[in-house]
Amino acid sequence: MNRQFEDMPNFRLMEGFSAETSGGILCMISKSKAEDFVREAQEEFGQEVWTVGKVVSGSKKAHIRPDIEVHSVTKSFLS
């Protein structure tokens, strides 16, 4: 387990079951428009945006890669 999360209760963040994403916006956008979306969010609103995955053909199941990065978001254009 990542030492950063050692003292946290088991919210199953690393398995994708945590509510840590609540309040955020998860959207699907075509790959060809994603770069412009990320840039506009930063330039227009000062909001950081991350690409968190991709949709591929397959089993219709989500997979979390072992090399994920956890970002603590401390500011929002709403605050």
| 34 neighbors 51 (Cβ within 8 angstroms) | yes
% residues pLDDT > 70 (the chain): 62
Structure tokens at 79: 């605050």
Residue 15: other Cβ atoms inside 10 A: 9
Is the model more confident about 71 or about 59?
A: 59
Residue ranges per structural domain of the chain: 1-79
C-alpha–C-alpha distance, residues 73 and 21, integer Å: 10
| 47 neighbors 76 (Cβ within 8 angstroms) | yes
Q: pLDDT tens digits for 30-68?
A: 999 999 999 998 999 888 888 888 888 988 887 778 887
Specify the DSSP class assigned to residue 19.
G
